[in-house]
A and B are shown apart, each in its own frame.
Chain A
Amino acid sequence: DVKVTQSSRYLVKRTGEKVFLECVQDMDHENMFWYRQDPGLGLRLIYFSYDVKMKEKGDIPEGYSVSREKKERFSLILESASTNQTSMYLCASSLYRGRWDSPLHFGNGTRLTVT
């Protein structure tokens, strides 16, 4: 069974801090994603990656960056956290490089609060 692990379940940060959210998957999946989940807005894609050192913008990349130095690890970075980035962040992975017609496997999420 695929395991997608997010390093923190809950995180509280101050406005202006640099924040790192880490995600690791253990099944050699090629694609990795970061989503943001807010009530009534569903799952919105921030960034995704289909290969090491590759990254592509999703629907709401502003204020975020990502890093994928190793295949199994995909990090989301908030350069200067703001209160409107308070949200649930979900990491996901899928198997085939550059193919989007396969199931996503999600992590448990990180609930980030920016005060």
Chain B
Amino acid sequence: GENVEQHPSTLSVQEGDSAVIKCTYSDSASNYFPWYKQELGKRPQLIIDIRSNVGEKKDQRIAVTLNKTAKHFSLHITETQPEDSAVYFCAASIPPGGSYIPTFGRGTSLIVHP
């Protein structure tokens, strides 16, 4: 099945700095790459996703980039704010008919210091 590696496991930044979280995947057939944010004591929620036919996608301060050749994708958060503090999970999944479902990275704990 798919193997997703996520780095770093912990990221500490000052408010206003940028944060970057990187994930690598093993199966070149993977075509859907979502990112989930889990605030303390809450459910994971989708914040942005990208498909393999797109190289980059932005939503306000959040962006995701995909490098299919290198099999990695990254979450970029600009102008970080304390409310961005959370655990972020990446995932990768394959097209319909594939034999496995979305595989998650182990998560990155982002801490934004005021």
Contacts and interface: CB of A to CB of B under 8 A. Distances in A.
Query: Do these two chains interact?
Result: yes
Interface residues of B, number: 28
Contacts, number: 57
Nearest to A41: B106
A106 B98 CA distance: 22
Contact of A42 (B43, B49, B101, B106): B106
Nearest to A33: B101
Contacts of A41: 106
B42 interface: yes
Interface stretch (A12-20, A60-68, A79-87, A96-104): A96-104
B89 to A, nearest CB: 6
Interface in B53-102: 89, 93-98, 100-102
Contacts of B102: 100, 104
B9 interface: yes
A108 B46 CA distance: 14
